[in-house]
Amino acid sequence: MTTGNDSAFPISDELWQRGRALIPTGTQTLSKAPNQFVGGVTPKYLKRGEGSHVWDVDGNEYIDYPMALGPILLGYNYPPVIEAVTKQIKEGTTFTLMHPLEVEVAELMRELVPSCDMVRFGKNGADATSAAVRAARAYTGRENVAYCGYHGCQDWYAVVTPRNIGIPKYLASLMHAFEYNKIESLEKVFVENPGKIAAVIMEVPGIEPAINPETGMNFLQEVAELASKNGAVFILDEIVTGFRFSIGGAQQKYDVMPDLSCFGKGMANGFPISAVVGKKEFMKEFDEVFFSMTYSGDTIGLSAAKATLTELIEKPVIDYIWKTGARLHAGVNKLAEELEVPFRFGGQPVRGHYVIEAGDEDQVLTVKSLFLQETVKRGILFGGPVFISYSHSEGDIDKTINVVGEAFKVIKKALASGDPDAFIEGEKPSVVFRQRK
């Protein structure tokens, strides 16, 4: 392995040295840290964005696909959203009393989300999922939770991750994992914990829900039915899928009616806001459940959400990102097949991920590292998830496919050499959920 030369990003590197001395881990968001990318060939700080493009602090331009980990649904600096927010800033950002936008955005949510009778707002996805679980516990009088997927950094969920230091360990005894597309794994949770499960919370990981050939029901529908049968509240975590899989989220696309749902990310095109929505009988628990924050009704997030949701109603955003994402996936996967490279895009066109079948875990990481390295060197910024925005143009997709083809040629050559690590010009990325030493 060769050592990367960080002088390619002098301003980024200087900021990183300053930041590491002041900020634990050096970052506010673990998935944005330098160790999630190939060190030495990837910038550490971005300064601005326009449409689907971003510029780092050293002036280099990239086509962006993580899109800030998903919130940028329409595009950076998207005029209708920026105009709405700018106008609202001049009128005020937060007040002594409530603001009309709280009602207006709640009405939009009710119009768009099938399961929405009532709404409460937060700022982060973890706010929403934690509030939903708290409401479910209040409604049922139970404490245990069945979960599938990732649901944020709050204690109730974070206790089951490797980053659980500082969290009371007994909370782990209340958590019970089940597997996506395996209904028997959830059935087992209920059998082993009779009358104890308050909530079943899950996200849709980008894989189509399996269809039960006997019932014709999809996995999400089966989960909802099983939760109801056992007196548990069914919570659908739509932080990622909401307003991306369809205008009404994964619940609309897959025809399932959750009791409570959680939204965030794309609902305000990058401005911080989240929401818990659901059926009135469950949402009424918030009359007593403690869920109150100074900034949950701030007008910046609400004005951005109103503008974003209005764009979704008035323009073919959802159709566009599905078609554009499908073209990207098809182009990349065709090249992978032609060049016989063990790498492809999986998941959904609007929210893709990498499928790397290259052998053991270390070899998979090597292939991923080479992919990230060779694409960023050519002006394409990939990371973990692959998100498509309304601003990704045909030209963006064409360039990306061409660049991926060049990256695949390097990967093919590296694998054929017998020493693929020698082709890595910096440090391989690591994982967020590493065990504490």
Spell out the domains of the chain, with CATH numbers in brackets.
6-76+317-423 (3.90.1150.10), 94-297 (3.40.640.10)
Token match 């098809």: residue?
330
Nearest by Cα to 375 from 347, 335, 433, 338: 335
Candidate from 102-116, 136-150, 328-342, 359-373 with smallest mean pLDDT = 359-373
Instruction: Give the residue ranges of DSSP H helices in 150-202.
Output: 155-158, 183-192
Mean pLDDT of the chain: 94
Phi-psi region of 11 (alpha: psi -120 to 50; beta: other; left: phi over 0): alpha
Nearest by Cα to 251 from 263, 266, 268, 265: 263
- The reported pTM is 0.93
Q: Is 14 exposed, middle or buried (0-12, 13-18, 19+ CB in 10 A)?
A: middle
pLDDT computed for residue 435 by the predictor: 42
What whole-number distance in Å separates Cα of residue 46 and Cα of residue 51? 14
pLDDT computed for residue 306 by the predictor: 98
What whole-number distance in Å separates Cα of residue 355 and Cα of residue 417? 22
What whole-number distance in Å separates Cα of residue 197 and Cα of residue 48? 45
Residue 429 pLDDT grade (very low, low, confident, very high; cuts 50, 70, 90): confident
pLDDT computed for residue 7 by the predictor: 64
DSSP state of 436: P
- Is the predicted pLDDT of residue 415 greater than 60, yes or no? yes
| Cα 396 to Cα 63, 110, 199, 323, 393, distances in angstroms | 7, 35, 42, 14, 5
Mean pLDDT of 376-387: 95
What whole-number distance in Å separates Cα of residue 14 and Cα of residue 10? 6
- Is the predicted pLDDT of residue 96 greater than 50, yes or no? yes
pLDDT computed for residue 28 by the predictor: 86
Largest separation between any pair of C-alpha atoms in the chain: 67
- Is the predicted pLDDT of residue 64 greater than 60, yes or no? yes
Extended strands (E) in 319-397: 343-348, 351-356, 380-381, 386-387
Extended strands (E) in 123-270: 144-148, 175-177, 197-203, 233-238, 260-263
Residue 32 pLDDT grade (very low, low, confident, very high; cuts 50, 70, 90): confident
- Is the predicted pLDDT of residue 407 greater than 80, yes or no? yes
DSSP state of 3: P
Mean pLDDT of 361-369: 93
Token match 């039915």: residue?
225
pLDDT computed for residue 31 by the predictor: 85
Query: Which residues are bridge partners to 345 per DSSP?
Result: 354
pLDDT computed for residue 35 by the predictor: 84
Contact 6, 429 (CB under 8 A): no
Residue 30 pLDDT grade (very low, low, confident, very high; cuts 50, 70, 90): confident
pLDDT computed for residue 168 by the predictor: 96
